[in-house]
Chains A and B, each alone.
Chain A
């Protein structure tokens, strides 16, 4: 056995899983793609992501609390939908909770640094090419560069690549129409623009999707759009066409979907690798951290008490499915209220 746990992916889910594993005394090896997130791209302009204040408490458990401060490019007090302002909440003393717009590369880098500092190993740049199976159980991975790494468990935190579920041909259950989300950054927005009238992000619904505007300091705004109409209209939102669009527009398939199951002997799927709900849920990073931590705890239980492995896996599968259902139903309700018909 080369290592206790191989973790595919160095995003929030993978790092969270790695940290829980090493905190539990297991060896963890992160397979990080050739993605340049963790080095020079650090300083380039890229779309930021908005994270909920609840993320902080999870990061503190992971001893990675400073990741938010390291990556923050702005704060917000709530979400404005039409004329409705929905604050995130406030502390007992009445101070508003603040959400952060984060520079995702810096955030991931800080989280990865915390994982490495706590003893996780990393193989980078490296790509997983296949899973090693024995008696229908996952017992390790093969990599693009020809390595074979055996392990007690694989945690699939490969994000939108969804490596494990595809490789094992798990079924996918769908809860929405096919959805495309695309995101970009616009600059040179004047300070008197409506976006800067308060510290709220804007959510603008339309019958086939929505637009999300996350203003940052320095006249910059990350925007994200979602549509059930396919990719033909991948353009910046009308509100911002007068200004400069910066960098590439990135698009992704955001159809709400979950693999069934999300684990089997030798492998556990977490984060986007297990289930995707579109970014309006606003919980991509929260979900990644929570499910990465839970997956890792489940692996720790399976390894320390192998006689009860199917029972632990059943509990993870039950929990993850219920958690996904919760997000789907809440988003459906929210969309129904706003007249967004994507399911």
Chain B
């Protein structure tokens, strides 16, 4: 009985480790993809407006087109340089969110329901911050 329990624990740890290594690779791919999209948009942006004087000294806030997920995706599809950069940044913000989403799956496979709930709570908060209307 004890031996069976110990064996199960070791198997669980091995699975944990494999899941983690996979997640690590996924995160790295996500970051590289985001960096690629940001670079593409960035080069385009610089070619288009390199000699415009830049002023970040005074705060105006971004236009609505670059604030909400659907609008950013729309701007990126219509190949607006700034929209493309913002879409890349959105991909980057999504990498830790994806990591949390996969962890829900991982805990569910281990039948650890308490942590499925904990992780879902974190995931819900993350999704809420990205989609809430007011930007709080």
> Do A and B interact?
no
